[in-house]
Amino acid sequence: MLDLIRRQLSHLRWQIVTSQLLAIGVVIIFLMLLTRTIFISIIPTGIEPLLANLTQSAGPEEIQQAQNDLMVTFRNVVIFSILVAAVGASIIGWGVSLVLSRLILNPLQRLSSSSRRIVEGRYDERITPPLTVELAEVANQFNMMAESLETVEKNRISLIGNVSHELRTPLTSLQGYVEGLQDGLFPGDEETWAIMGMELSRLKRLVADLQDLSRVEGGSVQLKLQDFPVLPLVEQVHSQLQAKFVTKKIAFYADGSDSGIEVYADRDRTYQILINLLGNALRHTPDNGAITIYVDYDIDDQIAISIIDDGEGIPAESIPYLFERFYRVDPSRSRQSGGSGIGLSISRQLARLMNGELKAESEGPGEGSTFTLLLPSA
């Protein structure tokens, strides 16, 4: 934005110089036309009688007097003509300069006023692009900046509301159990303490996820980029979640177009992303279903790691919002299953920090889904 403003101000400087030259040119032309008009209309009226007297003069003294009168009259007419033309040209030049300066300065004044309003927190402020090409481009960039700030502010407000809501749920549950124990409504047995422990664990996971998201979005995550094979890491992730596969009787398949495919990324962070994606696939795949991870080469020297399930699927209208913080396709069900709603946000940010990307596809509800992690090839 600053580079654009500097570039456009340089163009604007030349535009101001051109405008001044134009105003000067208008003044000169008007001065010449007005002077010519005065000469044509006034000089004959004042000089013709003197010329007639000169031709009718008999003696040398009369001729000399007529010549003197002629010169004085001519001089006075010229001075009068120049004064009148100068005053008129000055008025015209002032008017032209005023119009041109308004065309240039008014958009800048609107830009300054809008900037002050944005500083005051009015992020919905926009300015109408002026006719000047250079200033119109600055105005468009300003509107884009204001729109971005407005989006950031909305996300901040939304984040505060979502965090408050997510924290309120386990805290309300814990408060209910504590008050019930105090009033003797709940027995202080292992089952009660186990439920309270689950709520505390859920609260702890949420806080930990928020800390991870803050570090990732703030760019404070330390990455150890290296070359490593993908399929062995996929098998390690499967081993970590194997008990859940067995419990739900879900088949698991892992394959690739080349068994030796390697990526250049952070191994631990890639493991974290795959754990999250495979955990989500397990959560939304029914019993006796199947999950496949396929590794293949992609365009632009990237490796595509696709997690494919035959589970619940994702509605088309939900796909653009999947990676937003706290977004849930089915809020009540996701909350019961313990998801915080920010795992996918963390995963996408980690992928981008490693010069990769994370995408989601689905044919719709009941058609399963595919999450594709793109990472640079080794």
Q: Is residue 255 part of a domain?
A: yes
Same-domain status, 265 and 342: yes
Q: What is the domain range of residue 250?
A: 225-376
Are residues 232 and 205 both part of a single domain?
A: no
CA distance 75 to 243: 113
Closest by CA to 257, choosing from 304, 301, 291, is 304
CB 256 within 8 A of CB 294: yes
- Give the pLDDT confidence score for residue 18 in this predicted structure: 67
What's the pLDDT at 38? 66
Residues 36 and 100 in one domain: yes
pLDDT of residue 376: 92
> In this predicted structure, what is the pLDDT of residue 336?
47
3-state secondary structure of 354: coil
Regarding whether 150 and 104 lie in a shared domain, the answer is no
Alpha-carbon gap, residue 195 to 198, rounded angstroms:
5
Which residues, at least 6 apart from 309, have a Cβ–Cβ distance to it below 8 Å?
281, 284, 285, 289, 290, 291, 292, 368, 369, 370
In a domain, 137, yes or no: no
Phi-psi region of 342 (alpha: psi -120 to 50; beta: other; left: phi over 0): alpha
Phi/psi of residue 296, nearest 5 degrees: -150, 165
Listed as ranges, residues in the chain with pLDDT below 50 are 333-338
Q: Which helix (H) or strand (E) holds 219?
A: none
The pLDDT, as a whole number, for residue 333 is 47
Per DSSP, helices labelled H in 184-288 are 190-217, 230-240, 242-248, 267-283
Burial class (CB in 10 A: 0-12, 13-18, 19+), 112: exposed
Return the pLDDT at 160: 75
DSSP classification of residue 287: T
At 209, which CATH number? 1.10.287.130
**CB distance 375 to 264 below 8 Å:** yes
* Residue 166: alpha-carbon gap to chain centroid: 28
Confidence at residue 45, expressed as pLDDT on a 0 to 100 scale: 61
Number of domain units in the chain: 3
Residue 230 and residue 359 in one domain:
yes
Residue 371 per-residue DSSP state: E
CA 322 to centroid of chain Cα atoms: 20
| Residues 105 and 188 both lie in one domain | no
